[in-house]
Amino acid sequence: MTQAKSKFRAIPAVDRVLREMDEHVERFGHERISAAVKVEIENLRDAISNSSAADEKNFLFDIVEAVDKSMLASEQRDFIPVFNLSGTILHTNLGRALLPDVAIEAAVQVAQSASNLEYDLAAGKRGDRDNHIEGLICELSGAEAATVVNNNAAAVLLTLNSLARKREVPVSRGELVEIGGSFRMPEIITSAGCKLVEIGTTNRTHKKDFRSAITADTALLLKVHTSNYRIEGFVSEVSEKEIAELAHENDIPFVIDLGSGNFLDFKSYGLPEEATVKQSLESGADVVTFSGDKLLGGPQCGIIAGRKDLVEAIKSNPLKRALRVDKMTLAALTEVLRLYQNPTQLEHSLPTLKLLTRPLPEIKIQAEHLQEKLHAALTPAYQVSVCECSSQVGSGALPTSDIPSYGLMVVPQNNSDDTLRSLAQTMRELPKPVIGRISNGSYLLDMRCLEDEQGFIEQLSLLQDLLT
Ligand SMILES: *Cc1c(COP(=O)(O)O)cnc(C)c1O
C-alpha cells in the first residue's frame, strides 16, 4: 500500500516529461505530444494500481520511450501494399486491377497540376469531362456514346434510374445475383426507383416469359451477367439477340449489366472465352454497363456505353453529378483505353493481362527458386514444397474457369490447424504483408502474381523472430 503510494508520488508531471521531449514536440506538435504523454501517464497509473509497474526510478524514461513508440507507430501508414499470393488475380479486397505505369503517371500528372479536365482549350470555355474517354470507348466497343461513373454498381443504378424510374423492369430469376459486398440486383433495381418484375425460374427462363411480362408500364428489358456463379444441368436462358428483338418489337431499350467488361478476344490469349462489349452491342443491346477495374485492368469506375439518345438521358440525370469520377481516375482510364488501341502490345503493357497470361514454366521456376529460401526462413516445424495449383480471375469474372498455376505449399509438421492459422497471421505481420490461402490442411502461396521476388525474399529473414 505505502509502496503504491510512493509510486504514485513518483509519477512525473506532464511538463517534466515534455521537457525531455523537445525534438518530438517540434516534429509532432505540442498538442499531440502532451496528449500522448497524458495517455502514457494514465497507463502508468493503471499499472501501479494492479501492481505491474516497474521501478519508479525509470518512470520518466519509460514514459518518454512509450510516447516515442506510439509516435513512430502513428507514422506508419494504415493503407499499405501487400503481396497478393492468394491465387485470385482481381481480388476485390486487395484492390483489384493493378494499373499500368502510363496510367499511374497520367494520374500523378493531373493530381500535381491544373489540367483541362472540363475545359475546352480550343474554345477557351467550359468543356465536358467525358470528352477524354467517350471517343476511345466508342472506338473500342462500337458504341455511339459513352460515359463513366464511380463503379459498375453506380453505372447500373444510374442507367436504371435514368431510363426506368417508377416503371417496370423484368429480370430473369436466374440473374437476380448478389455480387458480394452489398450489391444485390433486386435491391439495386428497387433503389433506382424501379419496379422489379421477376420472370422465369432460377434455372430456366424462356422468351415467352419475357413476352408475357411486357406491359405498357415496362421501361426496358434487363439482362445481368451472372458473373460469379454458373448453373449447370437443366437450364435455359434467353440469348441477348432474342431479348433485343423482343425489346425492339415493343419499342423499349435492352440493357445489359456485363459485370466485367472485356474488349479482347480472350481465346487468342489462351484464356477461357468471355464475350466482349462489342459483341453484346452487336447482338442488339442498347446500353451496356461494366467495371473499369475487373478484366479491363483499369482504375475503379463504371462505364456506360450504347445508343446516343439513351446515354444522353443518362448523362443529364442529376444523379450523374453525384456519381461522377475524379480526374485521377479519368486520366488513368484514358491511358488504359489507349493501350487497347494497340492490342498486340497489351500482354506486356497491361498488368492484368500480363498476370492472366503469365507462362506456366516461368511461374514454376519461380516457385522452385523460392522453395528452399522459404523453407530455410521458416523453422523446421514446417515442410515447404512446390505444388500445382489454380488461380482464379476473381471479382466475378470467369467464375468457373481455373487457370493452372504453381505455388508453394507449407504444411506444419504437427498438422495442426492452429499452427496453420498462426503462420498465415505471421505472414500478414511482415512489413509488406503476404496474403496466401489456407486450403486442405496447408498454407498455399500462389506464385502467379509475385512480381517483386527480391522484395519477397528480403523480408523472409524477419520470419524467424516473428514465429518464436
Ligand atoms: C462486379 C459486378 C457489379 C459491380 O461492379 P463494381 O464495379 O464492383 O461496382 C455489378 N454487376 C455485375 C454483374 C458484376 O459482375
Ligand 1 atom with the smallest distance to the CA of 301 is 7
Query: Beta-carbon neighbour count of residue 113 at 10 Å?
Result: 7
Q: Tell me the pairing of strands 168-172 and 145-149.
A: unpaired
Cβ(396) – ligand 1 distance below 6 Å? yes
Q: Which residue's CA is minimally distant from atom 6 of ligand 1?
A: 152
Cβ(397) – ligand 1 distance below 6 Å? no
How would you write the pLDDT of the chain (468 residues) with one tens digit per residue?
567 888 999 999 999 999 999 999 999 999 999 999 999 999 999 999 988 877 888 999 999 999 999 999 898 888 999 999 999 999 999 999 999 999 999 999 999 999 999 999 999 999 999 999 999 999 999 999 999 999 999 999 999 999 999 999 999 999 998 877 778 999 999 999 999 999 999 888 999 999 999 999 999 999 998 876 777 788 888 899 999 999 999 999 999 999 988 999 988 898 888 889 999 999 999 999 999 999 999 999 999 999 999 999 999 999 999 999 999 999 999 999 999 999 889 999 999 999 999 999 999 999 999 999 999 999 889 999 999 999 999 876 666 678 999 999 999 999 999 999 999 999 999 999 999 999 989 999 999 999 999 999 999 999 988 887
Q: Tell me the pairing of strands 83-84 and 183-184.
A: unpaired
DSSP 249-274: HTT--EEEEEES---S-GGGGTS---
CA distances from residue 31 to 20, 23, 39, 456 in whole angstroms, order as listed: 15, 14, 12, 39
How close is the Cα of 131 to the center of ligand 1, in Å? 24
**310, three cell numbers:** 439513351
Cβ(224) – ligand 1 distance below 6 Å? yes
The residues pairing with 378 across neighbouring beta strands, listed in sequence order, are none
Residue 201 sits at φ, ψ, to 5 deg, of -130, 180
DSSP 8-state secondary structure symbol assigned to residue 12? P
Closest CA to 240 of 195, 208, 207: 207
Cβ pair 185, 171 in contact under 8 A: yes
**306, three cell numbers:** 450504347
Closest CA to 120 of 112, 110, 109, 132: 132
Letter string b/e over residues 408-421, b meaning 16 or more CB atoms within 10 A of that residue's CB: bbbbbeeeeeebbe
Query: Beta-carbon neighbour count of residue 11 at 10 Å?
Result: 18
pLDDT of residue 193: 98
Hey, which bits of 417-465 come out as E strands?
Answer: 434-435, 437-439, 442-446
How close is the Cα of 183 to the center of ligand 1, in Å? 8
How close is the Cα of 247 to the center of ligand 1, in Å? 23
Handedness of CA 66, 72, 78, 83 (dihedral sign): negative
From 182, 183, 304, give the residue whose CB has the most ligand 1 atoms within 8 Å, as the site to mutate.
183
Ligand 1 atom with the smallest distance to the CA of 300 is 7
- How many helices and strands, by DSSP H and E, does the chain display? 21, 17
How close is the Cα of 293 to the center of ligand 1, in Å? 10
**332 burial type by CB count under 10 A (0-12 exposed, 13-18 middle, 19+ buried):** buried
Q: Which residue's CA is minimally distant from atom 7 of ligand 1?
A: 152
How close is the Cα of 260 to the center of ligand 1, in Å? 7
Cβ(291) – ligand 1 distance below 6 Å? yes
From 90, 91, 152, give the residue whose CB has the most ligand 1 atoms within 8 Å, as the site to mutate.
152
Q: Tell me the pairing of strands 178-180 and 183-184.
A: antiparallel
Handedness of CA 155, 338, 327, 120 (dihedral sign): negative
How close is the Cα of 464 to the center of ligand 1, in Å? 41
The residue type of 97 is: A
How close is the Cα of 59 to the center of ligand 1, in Å? 56
Cβ(257) – ligand 1 distance below 6 Å? yes
**292, three cell numbers:** 473499369
Cβ(391) – ligand 1 distance below 6 Å? no
Q: Which residue's CA is minimally distant from atom 1 of ligand 1?
A: 259
Cβ(153) – ligand 1 distance below 6 Å? yes
- Alpha helices (H) along 128-204: 131-141, 152-164, 185-191
What the chain holds in terms of domains, given with CATH numbers, is: 3-74 (no CATH), 83-91+356-467 (3.90.1150.180), 101-349 (3.40.640.10)
How close is the Cα of 297 to the center of ligand 1, in Å? 14
Q: Which residue's CA is minimally distant from atom 15 of ligand 1?
A: 259
Cβ(280) – ligand 1 distance below 6 Å? no
**95 burial type by CB count under 10 A (0-12 exposed, 13-18 middle, 19+ buried):** middle
Residue 194 sits at φ, ψ, to 5 deg, of -105, 160
Cβ(179) – ligand 1 distance below 6 Å? yes
Ligand 1 atom with the smallest distance to the CA of 225 is 13
Handedness of CA 278, 221, 310, 248 (dihedral sign): positive
- DSSP 3-state of 438: strand
From 187, 262, 291, give the residue whose CB has the most ligand 1 atoms within 8 Å, as the site to mutate.
291
CA distances from residue 2 to 5, 6, 8, 57 in whole angstroms, order as listed: 5, 6, 10, 16
CA distance 382 to 74: 34
- DSSP 3-state of 94: helix
The residues pairing with 198 across neighbouring beta strands, listed in sequence order, are 171
Q: Which residue's CA is minimally distant from atom 11 of ligand 1?
A: 259
Cβ(302) – ligand 1 distance below 6 Å? yes
From 227, 274, 295, 300, give the residue whose CB has the most ligand 1 atoms within 8 Å, as the site to mutate.
227
Cβ pair 177, 227 in contact under 8 A: yes
Considering only CA atoms, give the Rg of the chain.
28
Cβ(259) – ligand 1 distance below 6 Å? yes
In the block, residue with C-alpha cell 512480381:
451
